[in-house]
Structure 1
Amino acid sequence: MADRHHSGLLAIWISLISNILLTILKIIAGALLASPVLLADGVHNAGDIIASIAALTSSMVSKKPADEDHPYGHGKAEVVASAFVAIILIVAAVWIAFQSIGALFEPPGEESWLALGAAALSLVWKQWLYVYTIRVGKTTKSKSVLATAYDHLADVYASLAAVVGIGIALLGHRYDWAWAAYGDPVAGIIVSLLVLKLGYEIGHEAVNILMERNVAPEKLSRYENLISAIEPIKRIDRVRAREHGHYITVDVRVGVPGDYTIQRGHDISRLIKQRIMDADSDVIEVMVHLNPWYAE
């Protein structure tokens, strides 16, 4: 668990430093080259810095052990950060759409090959960051790292739109395509829809976890099969499980013969807990309630 947490923190630190460097690069390049698309992308990247800081903070908080005020641990701090990233993505999508639509009603600006190179560099950099962080996020099961990865994916879309838009504008200038001057804002509108979809999906998952939604039915079925294989158990009354960021807690209610001793019941509870935790490394706590069962 400690190694997984360290890997997640490293991924977020790399993302934060990269976002700072890319923001500076895009804003300076956009201002010097008079490229509105690069300037807009740089401002959008500034929001990613805030998202990375939120992910970093939440990841550090989530590793704290359970205490008296937080008996289930601090794992949901990552989910809160994930929801925050979703909000940033949705705001960014609306802002990109607003800027792109406004550009359709203004005289098109002139793009340069240097602006295209800066956008291409951003595209390659962000694509690498996305591949790296999505791999780490899936390995560590960290919601904040996964949210950071999808934030990078949104930037991949934005950078791709910048490359396509600037490229079309350059080709249009070379071959006198009047319509090509508006390739960038059209690409921006398409990107805004993709980013909006990403923000919705991340936010929807975060809200479900914060609202204590059950884990996937496949996981619950797996837990039930493990429990039913334990011979003294006569009935499964209820199995529930919920995510707390990068880990899961399970609640189990089962029926056992009513004449069992407390010691026997205790041993059965420990066996249930051990079986589930051995089968699923994401589970860190299993609460077992025993109900008396009598043969009719």
Structure 2
Amino acid sequence: MVVNFLLGVVKLIGGIVGNSFALIADSVNSIGDVITTVIVLFALRVAQMPPDEEHPYGHTRAEAIAASNVALLVIVSALFVAWEAVQRIGVGHAIPATWTLWIAGSNVLIKEALYQYKVRIGRRTNSAAIIANAWDHRSDALCSLAVLIGLGAIRFGGPSLMWADEAASLVVAAAIVWSATQLFRASASELMDVQANPDLVQQIHQQSLTVPGVKDVETLWVRKSGLEYFADIHIEVDPQMSVAEGHQIGHHVKDHLLEQFATLRDVLVHLEPHGHAQLHKQQAASAAQHDSAK
């Protein structure tokens, strides 16, 4: 956050003094990152709050809510920058100073370093907000590269390539909109309770079958909420066993899964008599054939 703030201030001053709207556009990007980081930090703190009477499932969705709102804010700011760049095309202005190239070039290296650092943390903690924030750094690095190319074209091409500054600004705006749209899609998908990664679902399925007494897994739903997951699983057990015995197996499945998967917040286990699902499918198929014959 501190690095982004300093970069934003330096690029803003450099863009104003050095006559580069592309640097000003890039400064808006960095200052927007500061706001994004503040919101993500607050959301992560809220997400870690324990469940209460009003929120029995916890507060983990705060991360996805924050991410989606941040994405919309970033998109609006990018569209504003793009509009300003379009307005400036064809309008004469001074050639940007040579030292603005150094600001743009340094920003490329710093942003790429931030991306490498943050994406490792995001993958380790499985945080969608942090990974999205990391990719925002990568897009910023590419934006700065576009600014560097645009400024270089003006410096070496002269007034005839003055439009390159605004063109670089439009590239920056397009990259911001693209990354923000990806962030919004990911966060909105999480709010819609999309099924978790197939690999994780398969691992949970396999671990459930290792619990003694579990004959099969009929249904398994796993949804991501913040940094954690909630699982709903229907296991098949011997239809002749007592309710107490089936209840005990259900507890063993829940305890085993929570022990094996640190990211699981809770597991809801439902019992089904073994063979019931297959019988139900056969009855449904027979009914369908009967209706078709009619």
The structure with the larger Rg is 2
Counterpart residue type for residue 206 of structure 1: S
Residue 254 (structure 1) aligned with residue 235 (structure 2): yes
5+ long unaligned stretches in structure 2: 280-294
Aligned residues: CA RMSD: 2.2
Q: Which residue number corresponds to residue 119 of structure 1?
A: 104
Moved more, 89-98 or 44-53: 89-98
Residue 155 (structure 1) aligned with residue 140 (structure 2): yes
CA contact (8 A) 1:104 1:185 kept: yes
Q: Per-residue deviation at 1:231?
A: 4.3
Identical-residue share of aligned pairs (%):
27
Deviations 1:221-280 (A, max 9, x none): 332222234342234231111101111010111222233234422331232223333443
Counterpart residue type for residue 136 of structure 1: I
Residue 194 (structure 1) aligned with residue 175 (structure 2): yes
Residue 182 (structure 1) aligned with residue 184 (structure 2): no
Q: Which residue number corresponds to residue 187 of structure 2?
A: 206
1:16-31 equivalences in 2 (<5 Å): 16-31=1-16
CA contact (8 A) 1:89 1:198 kept: no
Distance 2:73 2:122 in 1: 19
Residue 87 (structure 1) aligned with residue 72 (structure 2): yes
Distance 1:139 1:88 in 2: 27
Counterpart residue type for residue 180 of structure 2: G
Q: Which residue number corresponds to residue 238 of structure 1?
A: 219
Distance 2:275 2:146 in 1: 67
* Cα distance change of structure 1 residues 18 and 124 upon mapping to structure 2, 3 Å threshold: same
* Cα distance change of structure 1 residues 98 and 37 upon mapping to structure 2, 3 Å threshold: same
Deviations 1:156-206 (A, max 9, x none): 222112111111111113xxx72x322222233333333222122111111
* TM-score for the superposition, normalised by structure 2: 0.85
Aligned length: 277
1:228 alignment partner, one of 209, 218, 224:
209
* Cα distance change of structure 1 residues 182 and 294 upon mapping to structure 2, 3 Å threshold: closer
Secondary structure, aligned partner of 1:220 = helix
Q: Which residue number corresponds to residue 86 of structure 2?
A: 101
CA contact (8 A) 1:58 1:144 kept: no
5+ long unaligned stretches in structure 1: 1-15
Runs of 4+ in 1 over 4 A off after TM superposition: 293-296
Moved more, 110-119 or 192-201: 192-201
Q: Which residue number corresponds to residue 73 of structure 1?
A: 58
Moved more, 34-43 or 78-87: 34-43
